[in-house]
Every structure is written in C-alpha cells, then in structure tokens.
Structure 1
Amino acid sequence: MKIVKVEAFPIQAKPIDTRPYWGSRAWGSERAAGQAELSTEYPVPLRRRFIYSQTIDTVVVRIETDGGLVGWGEAKAPVAPQATAKIIELLLTPIVMGADPREVLVLWERMYAGMRVRGHRAGFYLEAIAGVDIALWDIAGQAAGAPISTLLGGKMRESVRVYASGIPSLPLEAPDEAIETLVEEARSLRAAGYTGVKMAIGRGVRGDLRTIGAIRDAMGDGFSIYADAAGVYSRADAMRLGRALRELGVGFFEMPIPPEDVEGYAELAQGLDIPIALDSIMSRHETVELIRNRAIDIVQPDVCRAGGITECRRIAELADCFGLAFQPHVSIGSQIHVAASAHLAVAMPNSIVCEYWIGKNPLGPAVVETPVELRDGYLFAPAGDGLGIRIKPDVLLSHVAH
C-alpha cells in the first residue's frame, strides 16, 4: 500500500452563528478596542491582543492510496489556513508520498525531523503535521477494518463526558442584565444535556469572580464550571484568582499566565489547590519540561495542533506515568477534529473530560454522512473503520478559500 496523492485544502467558512466565536468575544479585538497602550496591568494590553478570523478557518487534508483508500485529516489553522496548507504541500507531501500510510510513527518522525534543525517545534509546522497524521490514522484504521480507538489499544470507556465551550466572562462594570443573559445561557446548556461549561475569563479578577459566582449560584454545585484565562494574568493575580476559583468549585484553571513562563506555572501548580491545565502544549518535549518543573496537573493538547493522534497519544501516556490527567482540547474546527478527539478520549486511560464547542458550526454535522454522536452530555467515538465518519466532500470543500 502506497500513498499516491496528498491534498491540503485551506477552509474559510462563513459563520452561521449570530455571535462571534466565544474566544474572539473574550480575548480578541472587541475586548482590546477600549484599552490604552500604556497600562499598570501586567501583562500589558498589547501583549493580550490575539488574532481571530472573521471566518471559521481550518485546513482539511485528503490522502489517497494506490488501492483507493482515502483518509481525511485536519490541521488546526484558526487564522491564515493558506499558510498551513502550503507547508503541507511544499514540505510534508514530498516526505510521505510513496510511503506506506500504515507506518504512522515512522512518517511522523520523518516529518518532525524535516525542520528540527531550524527550530520548527511548534506552531504552523506541528499543526501541519497533525493534519497529515490524522489522515494516516484514518487510512490505517480502514485498512485494518477497525476504528482508530481499536488501533490505539481499545476503548477504556464507551464515551467521555464533555463540557460546553463556552461562555465569556464579563468585566466588573457589566450591567446585571448582561450577567443574567450569561446565566440563562448556562441554564439552556444544562437543559440541552451538558453537565458543565468552560468560561473564557480574563476580564479582571473581580469581574471574573462576579460572573462565575453568578453562574455557580444559579446552577448549583452539581454543574461543573471550568475557567480559561488564555494567559492574560500575572502570577500574583492568577494566584489570587485561583484560590477564589477553588472556593467556587471551579474544576480547573486553564492557561492562567503566559505559556512561556514555566517557572510561573510551577509556582501556581504547587501553590494552588485548583488543578492547572494548559492547552498550548505542542509536543511531548514541552510536556516533559512542565512535568520536571511540577508545573502542570492536566495536559490538554489539541489533536489538530499538537502533532496529531501520534503525538497526543504520547503526551497522554507520558502524563499518565506521573499521575497527571489528560483531556482533549477541542475548539473551533470540523467534525474531523471532533472524531479524532473522541477516539483519543475513549482510548487513553487517564482521560477525564473533553471539550466541545457549542457554536453553530458550518463545518459540523453538515459535512459528514455520520456525525459524531453527542448524547446526554457524553461524546461517543465513532464505531466505523478509521475515523468512522463519512465525509461529504462536496459540502466540506465548498468552503475552500479562494
């Protein structure tokens, strides 16, 4: 069996939701618009202006074999998907062309080695590798007549509990009516079957606590709340906020400070009772540095960003050796992203929960024949061969950027 064709499609789908992506509302240009360049805050505002696209962006990878098998993968590309697609076309395709797609580990190592000497250990290059890797696993599963979860060693559980992602926090001066709107959104999510929600925080310690406190009061202790600060806080504010979040029963504190500050993560992880999670992990090499420094409690790699199924498996297993939990990060993306995450979540022994984006998604169930099953707040790994979802190419590729 040999690979005869590799295609990478930059996707920019027109949003169908009435509101911008929750991350953009919390940490994007809307939040930054009223902030001064000079500030007594740390990190300063100009370091907290994250780029978000006006469209739903990703890269879809299609790999074909000489026997007619077709595998689909996805490379995370929330902005500039054309750049990631070009990396796949110009750098990764020559490496995998003509190879046996079932040799996923060999091909992963060859792809990663290709730019190691230049320091490309994160970002666009690892995301590009992820897209190819997932497509290879899809083919390997089809060739074996088994789902990816079986190739990973089998299901440790039939499904994984998901939390709804997400609700943005509000600044302290927000009117009571705005807080009540968020509370009603949380109530509607519970009515839809979700047992928990992740909130995009970072609107000031007092603002975050006011918002989370209102949702906790309305939802009670039986509803899980998680918090993602996107690295906007200083060590001191994160420590103060983390203690208060624990008192409110928040389940984990995600990216409380900038991810480069490993020493700061160690200070927080060792000084707080609330588990510290990080979603910007790109490889097992970053993971082992965090573990050595006792700087993390939950590893939270994104399968479409952190090198695909091959590397996320190794991250999860490495974490498990040190008694740390694993949970897939799943933000904006397509059903390929959701399916790959579900297979990992049910197969890894240290999985606890899985993220699930609740926005109306043009790249969601509409692009597949058999959508990934979400029932009563639990995500089920597809039972079909490979990823177990049948792509509708005409629908998915209608969103290709031109």
Structure 2
Amino acid sequence: MKIVRVQAFPIQAEPTDTRPYWGSRAWGTERAAGQAELSTEYPVPLRRRFLYSRTIDTVVVRIETDTGHIGWGEAKAPVAPQATATIIDLLLTQILIGADPREVTVLWERMYAGMRVRGHRAGFYLEAIAGVDIALWDLAGQAANAPICSLLGGRMRESVRVYASGIPSLPLEAPDAAIAELVTEAKSLEAAGYTGVKVAIGRGVRGDLRVVRALRDAMGDGFAIYVDAAGVYSRADALRLGQALEELDIGFFEMPIPPEDVEGYAELAQKLAIPIALDSIMSRHETVELIRNRAIDVVQPDVCRAGGITECRRIAELADCFGLAYQPHVSIGSAIHVAASAHLAVAMPNALVCEYWIGSNPIGNAVIEQPIELHDGHLSAPDNPGLGISILPDRLLAHVSRMRPE
C-alpha cells in the first residue's frame, strides 16, 4: 500500500447562519468598539483583536493509494486556507509520495523534522501536518477494516458528552433584553439535548459576570457552563474574574490570559479552584512546559491544528500521566473535524467533554452520506473503518476557494 497522490483543497464556504460565527462576535471585528470597562489596559486593545474570515475556512486533504483507498483529513485554517494548502503542496507531498500510509508515526516525524530546524513548530505548518495525519489515520483504519478509535486502543466509552459552543458574552452596558436573549438561547440548547454551554467572555469583568450569573440563575446547577476568554485579560483581572466564577460553579476557565504567559497560567492555576484550560496547545512540547510549571488543569488540543490524531493522542496521554483532563477543542470546521475529534474523545481514558459547534454548517453533515448525530447531548465515534464517514466529494469540493494570493 503506497501513497500515489496528495491533494489539498482550500475551502471557503459561504456561511448559512444568519449571524456571524460566535467567536467573531466575541473577539473579532464584530466586537463592539467600546471596551473602557476593562479595569486595566493590559493586554492593550491592539492585542485583543483576532482575525476572522467572513467565510467558513479550512483545508481538506485527500490522499490516494495504489490500492484505490482514499483517506480524508482536515487542516484547521480559520483564515487564509490557501497558505496551509500551499505548505502541503510544496513541502509535505514530497515526503508522502511512495510511502506506506500505515506508517503514521514515521511519517509524522518526517514531516515535523522537515522544518524543525527553522522554528516551524506551530501555526500553519502544524495545521498542515494535522490535515495529512488525519488522512493517514483514515487510510490506516480502512486498511485494518477498523475505526480509528479501535486503532487507538479501543473505546473507553461508547460516547462522550458535548457542550454547545457557544454563546458570546456582552459588555456591562448591554440592555436587559440582550441578556434575556442569551438566556433564551441557552434554554433552547438545553431543550435540544445539550447539557452544557460555553460562553465567549472577555467583554470586561463585570460584564462577563453579569452574563454568566444570568445564565446560572436561569439554567440551574445541573447545567454545565464553561467560559473562554481568548486570552484577553491581564493576570489581575483573570484572577478577580476567576474567583467570582468559582462561586458560580463554572466547569473550566479557558485561555484566561495570553497563552505565551506560562508563569501567569501557573499563578492562576495555583490560586484558583476553577480548572484552567488552554486550547492553543500545538504540541506535546508546549504541553510539558505547562505541566512542569503546574500551569494547567485541562488540555484542549484541536485535532485539526495540533498535529492531528498522532500528536493529540500524545498530548492526552502526557496529561493523563499527571492526572490532568483532556478535552477536544472543536471549533468551526467540517464533518472530518467532528469525526476525528469523536474518535479521540471516546478512546482517550482522561477525556472530559467534547466541544460541539452549534451553528448551521454547510460543510458539516451536508457533505457526508450518513449524518453524525448527537443523542441526549452525547457524541459517538462512527463505527465504519477509518474516520467512519463517507465524504460526498461533489458537495464538499463545491466550496473550494478560487481565490489566490496576488
């Protein structure tokens, strides 16, 4: 079994939601300009704006073998998917052609080593590796006639609980009617079977607390609430907010401060009872630094950007050695993203919950033959070989971007 063709398709799908992606509304250009309520100006506002695309952007990887098998993967590229696709075309394909796709770890190490000496240990390069790696696991599962979770050692659980992602917070001056709308949305999610929700905070300590308190009062103690600050707070504000969130029984506090501040994460993790989580983990090397500094409680690598299934498995197992929880980060992406995350979530012993994007998704179930469905707020890994999903190429590749950088 040898690889004969590698293709990377930059996807930019037109959104079908009536509202922009919740992350963009919370932290991107959709965020309201006035943020004077923040008690400190560190990080400065310039550092609290993130790029989001108007379209749903990702990169789909297709690998073909001489036996006729097709493996699909996804490289998470929330902006500029052409960059990630070009990395696959120009750097990774030459490593893969002629190789046995079942030698997943060997190929991962060869790809990672290719640009290691030049410092490419995260970002677009790791995202590109992630997309290829998922496709290799898909092929390995097909060759073994087994789902990926079986190749990972088997199902530790039949399904994993998911939380709805997500609801954006509001600034302090937001009207009561806007708060009521968020509560109504949370109740509709509960009625749909979700047992928890993640709130995109970072609108100011008092504004965030107003929203979270309203949700807790309305939803009661049995409904899980998680928060994600996207690293917008200073240590002092994150500590003040975290102490208040503890009283509201929040499940975890995700990226409270900039991810580069490992010492700050250590301070928060050791002063707060609320679990500290981080999704901007790209490798086990970053994970071990956080663990050594006692700076994290929940690891949240995203399978489509943190080196794929191979590296996410390593991160989860490393965390487990130190009694830390693992939780797949799943943002806006395709059905491939969801399936790969589900296999990891059911197989890893220390899996906590799994993120699940609630938006209308034109590259989700719409591009596969058999929908991936939730049952009572739980997600199961597909039973068929490999990823276990049957891609409808015409539907998926209809969203390939025709744009090229000038």
Indicate the residue corresponding to 1:290 in structure 2: 290
Which letter maps to 2:72? Answer: W
Aligned to 1:248: 248
Q: Distance in 2 between matches of 1:292 and 1:214?
A: 37
Q: Which residue of 1 aligns with 2:336?
A: 336
Q: Deviations over 1:127-162 (max 9, x none)?
A: 000000000000000000000000000000000000
Q: 1:40 to 1:300 in 2, by over 3 A?
A: closer
Structure 1 match to 2:262: 262
How big is the shift at 1:345? 0.2
Question: Matches of 1:63 and 1:161 in 2, distance apart?
Answer: 31
> Paired residue for 1:94?
94
- The equivalent of 1:326 in structure 2 is 326
CA distance in 2, matches of 1:373, 1:344: 17
Trace 1:20-59 onto structure 2 (pairs within 5 A): 20-31=20-31, 33-34=33-34, 41-59=41-59
Contact 1:300-1:328 at 8 Å conserved across structures: yes
Confirm or deny: 8 A CA contact 1:73 1:131 kept in the other structure: yes
Percent of pairs with identical residues: 84
State the TM-score, normalized to the length of structure 2: 0.98
Give TM-score, length-normalised by structure 1.
Answer: 0.99
Q: Once the 2 structures are TM-superposed, how far is the Cα of residue 173 of structure 1 from its aligned partner?
A: 0.5
- Partner of 1:145 in structure 2? 145
Q: Which amino acid aligns with 1:59?
A: V
Paired residue for 2:73? 73
CA distance in 2, matches of 1:246, 1:44: 26
Q: How many corresponding residue pairs?
A: 401
Q: Within 5 A, what are the aligned runs for 1:2-401?
A: 2-31=2-31, 33-34=33-34, 41-401=41-401
The whole-number CA distance in structure 1 between the counterparts of 2:61 and 2:329 is: 20
- Rounded Cα–Cα distance in structure 1 between residues aligned with 2:244 and 2:369: 45
Whole-Å Cα distance in 2 between the matches of residues 170 and 34 of structure 1?
12
Secondary structure class of the residue paired with 1:166: strand
Q: Which amino acid aligns with 1:364?
A: G
- The aligned amino acid for 1:43 is P
Structure 1 runs, 4 residues or longer, greater than 6 Å off: none
Q: Is the 8 A contact 1:32 1:45 kept in 2?
A: no
Deviation at 1:370, TM superposition (A): 1.5
CA distance in 1, matches of 2:372, 2:95: 31
Q: CA deviation at 1:290?
A: 0.2
Give 1:373 deviation, angstroms.
Answer: 2.6
* 2:35–2:203 CA contact under 8 A, matched in 1: no
Q: Deviations over 1:12-63 (max 9, x none)?
A: 0000000000000000012253468xx9511110101100000000000000
Contact 2:63 2:71 in 1 (8 A): yes
Q: Is the 8 A contact 1:373 1:382 kept in 2?
A: no
How far is 1:251 from its partner? 0.4
Q: Within 2, Cα distance between the matches of 1:267 and 1:103?
A: 41
Report the Cα distance in structure 1 between the residues aligned to 2:312 and 2:143, rounded to whole angstroms.
Answer: 22
Q: Distance in 2 between matches of 1:40 and 1:119?
A: 33
> What secondary structure does 1:193 align onto?
coil
Secondary structure at the aligned position of 2:30 is classed as helix
Query: Tell me, which stretches of 5 or more residues in structure 2 are unaligned?
Result: none
Instruction: Calculate the aligned-residue CA RMSD, in Å.
Output: 1.1
What is the letter of the counterpart of residue 382 of structure 2?
Answer: P
